[in-house]
Amino acid sequence: MSVKKLVWTALSVVLVAIVLMVISCGGGDGTSSSSGTTKPVGTPDTTGVTDTEIKLGTHYPLSGNPAAAYAPISYGMKAFFDYINAQGGIYGRKINFIIGDDHYNPADTVEVVRKLVEQDKVFGIISGLGEETHSAVWKYLEERGIPDMSLSTGLDKWTNPIARNRFAGNPDYVTEGKFLGQYIAKTYPNGKLGILEQSDQLGQDGDKGVREGIEGSNVEIVDVEQYDVIVSDVSAQTQRLKNAGADVLIVFAIPPQAASLVNTARKTLSWDVPIVVSNINCSEIFILLATPENAEGIVASTFGKQVYDTDIPGVQKYMKIWDKIKNGTTGDLNNFELYGMAVAETTVWGLEMAGKDLTRESFLDASENMCKFWCSTCEDYAPLTTSPTDHKGSETLILNKVENGKWITAGEPTSYESTPDCTPMTPPEGFDQQPKVGMDAPFVETP
């Protein structure tokens, strides 16, 4: 396939996802149904748990153009759960992981999640994807106390304020903005900063963090430009940023708009201004849209090890698991699948620490008392820690940079850990007999 065809394929995936998101945002902050799986106060909630099974669910696009971009995350999760099942499961229970196809459409997300909760009777929802899509169901899950774990989206509202049942999977956009703002203040101490941001909560959260990051420095914000999510061409905003005298840019945008800014700056305006982009763009799609030549030197934030870190034993282990259990998919492990496996591994740790007598309450207790869990891809990076007042497992960021057409690590990890001190939980009886997870767990050959 030619680069040009790859570019247009990538663009169509992202644009269709955006259109679907925008035209179907009627789900609001929850559903109006009063049905669910709530139990009387004081009754242990074992919904989705039998002597032989733990039923988990998620919502992802599995069909249509958005599936090409996002479905691999769910495939990675399923591969890791199947790897655990092949070792006998957790306290003898196999994980039944149900992936609901929501087409990246909030209205469909409501239907998918209600089916998972009310018909399939899942124990919890793992790694719900998307700002608008998960916003359609987060309150529905919260009202019913259903574990809503490792969200694949970075809005600050997921964990601010804390909800007992909900845990973030990604660093939030405010923290990311602060991290990138601090990088700009250090690298361009007298910089005249121009900001391009999406005109929604994503942009607002990022903007807030950037201002925190440059506070006290000599960096001056000379212009803030916004764009509507359905408009992919931001050439006019880019021109205004140049006219305002910006000599460094930060971009809180999704790949089509971020690439539009890069292409306009480099090709149309011949403007070799330093550009910093959010982690949403730390992907192959962004480089294809911007072209490797124009993307060269662009800096982004990201979290965790990447699939190209093949010197890390945990990445090697994930690759072996993927090669063994692909569930009908083809190709080598990619970053989306790697991320999904990391989410599943953390979920397994929580289920094992919850003990043999698994309930939603015991699982949430374990999940909000994670003390420096070194996941397989945490090596040389940072462990995961939570507490009853901190539901952000991942709070460490690192810089990546485009070099010779691919992203490479370009700095040391920076931690914003909310819980620097913690005391590990005492493992429950039988914990040592469960499948090993984490950085020190070796790969296990399975049938």
- In this prediction, residues 427-443 reach a mean pLDDT of 97
- In this prediction, residues 98-123 reach a mean pLDDT of 97
Distance, first Cα to last Cα, the chain: 36
The answer to whether residue 3 scores a pLDDT higher than 50 is no
In whole angstroms, how far apart are CA 217 and each of 186, 189, 214, 244? 9, 7, 6, 20
Q: For residue 142, list its beta bridge partners.
A: none
CA 362 to CA 354: how far, in whole Å? 5
Q: For 369-379, what is each residue's pLDDT tens digit?
A: 999 999 999 98
- In this prediction, residues 173-196 reach a mean pLDDT of 98
Q: Give pTM, 2 decimals.
A: 0.84
Quickly list H helices, 24-161.
Answer: 66-85, 106-118, 131-135, 138-144
CB 75 within 8 A of CB 329: yes
Take residue 331 and report the two structure tokens written for it. Answer: 């190709």
Q: Which amino acid is at 421?
A: D
Angle at 12 between CA 10 and CA 14, to 5 degrees: 70
The answer to whether residue 7 scores a pLDDT higher than 60 is no
Q: For 266-306, what is each residue's pLDDT tens digit?
A: 999 999 999 999 998 887 778 989 999 999 999 999 988 88
Please indicate whether the domains covering 20-28+46-170+310-395+419-433 and 174-302 agree at the CATH topology level.
Answer: yes
Q: For 232-258, what is each residue's pLDDT tens digit?
A: 899 999 999 999 999 999 999 988 899
Higher pLDDT, 69 or 50: 50
- In this prediction, residues 28-44 reach a mean pLDDT of 56
CB 180 within 8 A of CB 154: no
174-302 has which CATH code?
3.40.50.2300
pLDDT of residue 24: 37
Long-range contacts of 417-424 (CB under 8 A, 24+ apart): 417/382, 417/385, 418/387, 418/389, 418/390, 418/392, 419/385, 419/386, 419/387, 419/389, 419/390, 422/369, 422/371, 422/372, 422/385, 422/387, 423/371, 424/371, 424/372
Give kind and range of the element (H or E) at residue 167: strand 166-168
20-28+46-170+310-395+419-433 has which CATH code?
3.40.50.2300
Q: At 40, is the pLDDT very low, low, confident or very high (cuts 50, 70, 90)?
A: low
Residue spans of the domains in the chain: they are 20-28+46-170+310-395+419-433, 174-302
